[in-house]
Amino acid sequence: QVQLVESGGGLVESGGSLRLSCTASGFAYTVGWFRQAPGKAREGVSCINNVDGNPYYADSVKGRFTISRDNANYTVYLQMNSLKPEDTAIYYCAASSVPRALRVYCRGWYDIEYWGKGTPVTVSS
């Protein structure tokens, strides 16, 4: 069983930056960030595996968000720059104990094994 704790959310003005952290209680091969805005479906934002390779980014965040991981501390970060009001959502961390294809995982086509409780991000215009 892996427990996930997110942090780093908050209120920021449009164009600003935030860095989200997801700390796991143990090792997870694949970790992703998802978000859900009020009245909207959950969306995969960015996902990363523990091995070298290109992370996955949703088109809506490419060039603005960067995902990275610190395996020694079981932590995955999401650096969010040039934030827009449409980035406002609850951001959830998800993890898998087995390797997953990132594009498939980030589109929610696998059953998600572990979820965090989420951290809210609000971007004011």
In the prediction, which pLDDT does 56 show? 96
Q: Which of 22, 43, 36, 30 is nearest to 101 (CA)?
A: 30
In the prediction, which pLDDT does 7 show? 97
Q: Which of 44, 27, 28 is nearest to 102 (CA)?
A: 44
In the prediction, which pLDDT does 108 show? 87
Question: What are φ and ψ of residue 86, in 5° steps?
Answer: -70, -5
In the prediction, which pLDDT does 117 show? 97
Rounded to 10 degrees, the C-alpha dihedral 81/87/89/94 comes to -60
Q: Which residues pair with 11 in a beta bridge?
A: 122
Three-class SS state of 38: coil
Walking along the chain (125 residues) 10 residues at a time, the average pLDDT comes out as 96 98 95 96 95 87 96 95 98 94 90 95 97
